[in-house]
Chain A
Amino acid sequence: MTTMTERESVTALAERRSGPSLRGRFQDWLPRLVLAPSFLLVLVFVYGFNLWTLFLSFTNSKAFPTTSLIGFANYQRLWNWTFETDPPSNWYTALVNMGLFGGLYIFFCLFLGLLLAILLDQKIRGEGILRPIYLYPLALSFIVTGTAWKLFLDPRIGLEKAVHDWGWTSFHFDWVVNPDMMIYCVAIAGVWQTSGFVMAMFLAGLRGVDGEILKAAQIDGASTYQTYRRIVIPIMRPVFFSALIVLAHMAIKSYDLVLSVTGKNPGGAAELPSTFMYSYTFTRNQMAVGSTSAVIMLMTIAAIMVPYIYSETREKSR
Chain B
Amino acid sequence: MATLEIADLRKRFGTIEVLKGIDITLEKGGFLVLVGPSGCGKSTLLNTIAGLEQISSGEIRIGGNVVNHLHPSKRDIAMVFQSYALYPNMSVAENIGFGMEMRGVAKAEREKAIEAVARTLQIEHLLKRRPSQLSGGQRQRVAMGRALVRRPSIFLFDEPLSNLDAKLRVDMRIEIKRLHQTTGSTIVYVTHDQIEAMTLATKIAVLRNGELQQVGSPSEIYNCPANTFVADFMGSPAMNLLEGKVAQASGAQHVVIARKEGEPILLPVPASVDAGKLQDGAKVIFGIRPEAVNDVESIDRNAKSVVRFDATVEIVEPAGSDTFVVIHAAGKELTARMRADADVRRGQNHTFAFNLDKAVLFDPETTARI
A and B touch in the complex (CB under 8 A): yes
Interface residues, chain A, with chain B CB atoms under 8 Å away: 210, 212-213, 215-222, 226, 230-231, 234-235, 237
| Residues of chain B lying within 8 A (CB to CB) of residue A210 | 83, 85
Q: How far is the CB of B81 from chain A (nearest CB, A)?
A: 4
Q: Given A219-B78, A220-B102, 15 other A-B contacts at CB below 8 A?
A: A212-B81, A212-B82, A212-B83, A215-B79, A215-B81, A216-B81, A216-B86, A218-B72, A220-B146, A221-B99, A221-B102, A221-B103, A231-B87, A234-B89, A235-B89
Q: Are A213 and B72 in contact (CB under 8 A)?
A: no
Q: Are B89 and A231 in contact (CB under 8 A)?
A: yes
Per the bound structure, the CA–CA distance linking A213 and B50 in Å amounts to: 14
| Residues of chain A lying within 8 A (CB to CB) of residue B50 | 215, 219
| Residues of chain A lying within 8 A (CB to CB) of residue B74 | 221
Q: Are B79 and A222 in contact (CB under 8 A)?
A: no
Per the bound structure, the CA–CA distance linking A216 and B99 in Å amounts to: 9
Main SS class of interface, A: helix
Instruction: State the interface size on chain B (CB cutoff 8 A).
Output: 23
Question: Which residue of chain B lies nearest to A236 when distances are taken between CB atoms in the complex?
Answer: B89
Q: Which of B244-281 contact A (CB under 8 A)?
A: none
Instruction: Return the CB mask of B65-103 against A: 1 if under 8 Å, else 0.
Output: 000000111100111011111111100000000110011
A-B contact pairs, 6 of them (CB 8 A): A212-B83, A215-B52, A216-B146, A217-B87, A220-B99, A235-B89
Q: Are A218 and B89 in contact (CB under 8 A)?
A: no
| Residues of chain B lying within 8 A (CB to CB) of residue A212 | 81-85
Per the bound structure, the CA–CA distance linking A180 and B94 in Å amounts to: 50
Question: Which residue of chain A lies nearest to B73 when distances are taken between CB atoms in the complex?
Answer: A221
| Residues of chain A lying within 8 A (CB to CB) of residue B87 | 213, 216-217, 230-231
Interface residues, chain B, with chain A CB atoms under 8 Å away: 50, 52, 71-74, 77-79, 81-89, 98-99, 102-103, 146
| Residues of chain A lying within 8 A (CB to CB) of residue B52 | 215, 218-219
Per the bound structure, the CA–CA distance linking A169 and B120 in Å amounts to: 73
Q: How far is the CB of B48 from chain A (nearest CB, A)?
A: 13
Q: How far is the CB of B270 from chain A (nearest CB, A)?
A: 46
Q: How far is the CB of B72 from chain A (nearest CB, A)?
A: 5
| Residues of chain A lying within 8 A (CB to CB) of residue B98 | 217, 220, 222, 230
| Residues of chain B lying within 8 A (CB to CB) of residue A213 | 85-88
Say which residue of A216, A222, A226, A230 sits within 8 Å of B85 (CB atoms): A216
Per the bound structure, the CA–CA distance linking A215 and B83 in Å amounts to: 11
| Residues of chain A lying within 8 A (CB to CB) of residue B82 | 212
Q: How far is the CB of A235 from chain B (nearest CB, A)?
A: 6
Q: How far is the CB of A41 from chain B (nearest CB, A)?
A: 40
Per the bound structure, the CA–CA distance linking A212 and B47 in Å amounts to: 11
Question: Which residue of chain B lies nearest to A218 when distances are taken between CB atoms in the complex?
Answer: B72
Q: How far is the CB of A213 from chain B (nearest CB, A)?
A: 5
Question: Which residue of chain A lies nearest to B102 when distances are taken between CB atoms in the complex?
Answer: A221
Per the bound structure, the CA–CA distance linking A73 and B103 in Å amounts to: 65
Q: Are A219 and B72 in contact (CB under 8 A)?
A: yes
Q: Are B89 and A219 in contact (CB under 8 A)?
A: no
Q: Are B89 and A216 in contact (CB under 8 A)?
A: no
Per the bound structure, the CA–CA distance linking A234 and B78 in Å amounts to: 24
Per the bound structure, the CA–CA distance linking A216 and B96 in Å amounts to: 11
Closest 4 CB pairs of A and B: A221-B73, A234-B89, A220-B99, A212-B85
| Residues of chain B lying within 8 A (CB to CB) of residue A234 | 89
Q: How far is the CB of B79 from chain A (nearest CB, A)?
A: 5
Best-buried of A210, A221, A222 by chain B (most CB within 10 Å): A221
Per the bound structure, the CA–CA distance linking A238 and B82 in Å amounts to: 25
| Residues of chain B lying within 8 A (CB to CB) of residue A219 | 50, 52, 72-73, 77-79, 99
Q: How far is the CB of A218 from chain B (nearest CB, A)?
A: 5
Per the bound structure, the CA–CA distance linking A212 and B79 in Å amounts to: 10
Per the bound structure, the CA–CA distance linking A215 and B86 in Å amounts to: 11
Q: How far is the CB of B145 from chain A (nearest CB, A)?
A: 13
Question: Which residue of chain B lies nearest to A209 when distances are taken between CB atoms in the complex?
Answer: B88
Q: Are A216 and B79 in contact (CB under 8 A)?
A: yes
| Residues of chain A lying within 8 A (CB to CB) of residue B83 | 210, 212
Question: Which residue of chain B lies nearest to A220 when distances are taken between CB atoms in the complex?
Answer: B99
Per the bound structure, the CA–CA distance linking A237 and B74 in Å amounts to: 31
Q: Are A215 and B102 in contact (CB under 8 A)?
A: no
| Residues of chain A lying within 8 A (CB to CB) of residue B71 | 218, 221
Q: Are B73 and A235 in contact (CB under 8 A)?
A: no
Per the bound structure, the CA–CA distance linking A212 and B81 in Å amounts to: 7
Q: Given contacts A218-B52, A219-B50, A231-B87, are A226 and B102 in contact (CB under 8 A)?
A: yes
Per the bound structure, the CA–CA distance linking A220 and B72 in Å amounts to: 8
Q: How far is the CB of A210 from chain B (nearest CB, A)?
A: 6
| Residues of chain A lying within 8 A (CB to CB) of residue B88 | 213, 235
Per the bound structure, the CA–CA distance linking A212 and B86 in Å amounts to: 9
Q: How far is the CB of B370 from chain A (nearest CB, A)?
A: 43
Per the bound structure, the CA–CA distance linking A215 and B78 in Å amounts to: 11
Q: Are B73 and A218 in contact (CB under 8 A)?
A: yes
Question: Which residue of chain B lies nearest to A222 when distances are taken between CB atoms in the complex?
Answer: B102
Q: How far is the CB of A225 from chain B (nearest CB, A)?
A: 12
Question: Which residue of chain A lies nearest to B52 when distances are taken between CB atoms in the complex?
Answer: A215
| Residues of chain A lying within 8 A (CB to CB) of residue B146 | 216, 220
| Residues of chain B lying within 8 A (CB to CB) of residue A217 | 87, 98
Q: How far is the CB of B92 from chain A (nearest CB, A)?
A: 14
